[in-house]
Structure 1
Amino acid sequence: MLALLPRLRRLARALARDAADADDLCQITVEKALLARGSWQPGTRLDSWMYRIMRNAWIDTARARGRASETFVDAEAGVGIGSDGGGEARVALGEVEAAMRRLPDEQREAVALVLVEGLAYKEAAEVLDIPMGTLTSRLVRGRQALMLDLGEAA
């Protein structure tokens, strides 16, 4: 489980759009996973199981806050985030993160799981509890929106 923490944090960042909310989401996810560890089936992917816990925790958190828009920061926040590479790399990373934040939730989840976390389409569809065709559609729309957004940013 400890080896999954960087990947969980990345997904939490994609879902929450805010570093503090992402940290809280990671903590909630690990807590819930530890409490429910008896329900994980050995031989199945631990990462997919934890991603599903995280997504459900995020949905619960957003519902509890009443309005999802209150949980997100301004689209320009975090433009300079990133420590690898030079200044150009940090700006590019910030532009990608900002573009990801502007995607609709459904597309952002699909893109984060498949393109960022590397899950297979089938696994991502299971995590999101949607048919594979729906996942594919969300990915196509998400990729197109990112390319358009990032193309305009360049």
Structure 2
Amino acid sequence: MREHLAAQLARLWRYALVLSGRRDVAEDLVQATCLRALERAEQFQPGTRIDHWLLTILHSIWMNEVRSRRIRMGRGFVDPEVALTTDGIATAESQVFANEMVARVQALPEAQRATVFLAYVEEMTYRETADILGIPIGTVMSRLSGARATLVAATGVKGKS
């Protein structure tokens, strides 16, 4: 279990950072997720995807934290320059655009932000995203549609008439 868990740490950390918007909170979430996964290793069903199981655990822990602390939606934005790293090859223009996009995504309501991350960054299917978030697939589609509309409006690009 430990070797499978270690292989998923970067993915867990990215999702925790998207949810929380803070590096220190993300680290705590990943640590709590790893601890719970190790404590409940017998609950993992062989033949299923461990990444989905771990992301579901992480999401559950986050939602419990949100409920217990009554964190309001939209708090805890990540500074795009801190969250986005570049390899030095990208042009300054693409870096600026990427920073702007990260900021726009981070400005989305938490529910949309988590959905966008799982569906677009982690490339999960709508069904997989719905299962991890514990919501109907129609809600996933609705959140993604709303997020796309918000992001398009923020870029000033006009849609097709």
TM-score, structure 1 normalization: 0.85
Partner of 1:142: 147
Q: What secondary structure, in the 3-state scheme, does the structure 2 residue paired with 1:6 have?
A: helix
Amino acid at match of 2:85: G
Q: Which runs of 5+ in 2 are unaligned?
A: none
Where do 1:1-154 residues align within 5 Å?
A: 1-68=5-72, 72-73=76-77, 77-79=79-81, 81-84=84-87, 85-149=90-154, 151-152=155-156
Post-superposition Cα deviations, 1:42-80, rounded to whole Å, max 9, x if no partner, equal 01111111111111111112223233369614x6x3335
Q: Which amino acid aligns with 1:51?
A: L
1:110 touches 1:124 (CA, 8 Å); kept in 2?
yes
1:17, 1:72 within 8 Å by CA — same for their partners in 2? yes
Superimposed CA distance per residue, residues 63-99 of structure 1 (whole angstroms, 9 cap, x where no aligned partner) = 23233369614x6x33353132354444333222211
Q: Is the CA contact (8 Å cut-off) linking 1:79 and 1:95 kept in structure 2?
A: no
Task: For residue 37 of structure 1, report the CA deviation from its aligned partner.
Answer: 1.0
Runs of 4 or more, structure 1, over 4 Å off, are: none
Contact 1:26 1:54 in 2 (8 A): yes
RMSD: 2.2
SS of 1:43's equivalent? coil
Cα distance in 2 for partners of 1:129, 1:148 equals 28
What SS does the aligned partner of 2:81 have?
coil
The answer as to whether partners of 2:73 and 2:110 remain within 8 angstroms in 1 is no
CA contact (8 A) 2:55 2:132 kept: yes
Deviation sequence 1:108-146 (CA, Å, 0-9, x none): 111111101111111111111111111111111112212
Alignment length, in residue pairs? 150
